[in-house]
Amino acid sequence: MADTSARLVDDTFPENVPVRQWVLSLPMQIRYRLAHDGRLLSDVLRIFLRVVGAGP
């Protein structure tokens, strides 16, 4: 993981551009359901991206 992070910082992300990482954490029972239901997973991801994209 550290190697991947270093490569992203050194070679991929442009300099002087702020980068923010968002993490969606869900209870285990919901994770299991999402792992087997692609349509539900897509819906959850779409909602998450809409909320994050809305900003403060």
Residues 1-56 pLDDT 10s: 889 888 888 888 888 888 888 899 999 999 999 999 999 999 999 999 999 988 77
pLDDT of residue 1: 83
Crossing angle of helices 38-54 and 28-36, in 10° steps, is 120
Q: pTM to 2 decimals?
A: 0.64
pLDDT of residue 36: 97
pLDDT of residue 15: 84
Instruction: Give me the residue spans of the domains in the chain.
Output: 21-56
User: Does residue 44 contact residue 35 with C-beta atoms inside 8 Å?
Assistant: no
pLDDT of residue 13: 83
CB-count exposure of residue 14 (10 Å: 0-12, 13-18, 19+):
exposed
pLDDT of residue 10: 87
Distances (CA, A) of 51 to 20, 22, 41, 55: 15, 11, 15, 7
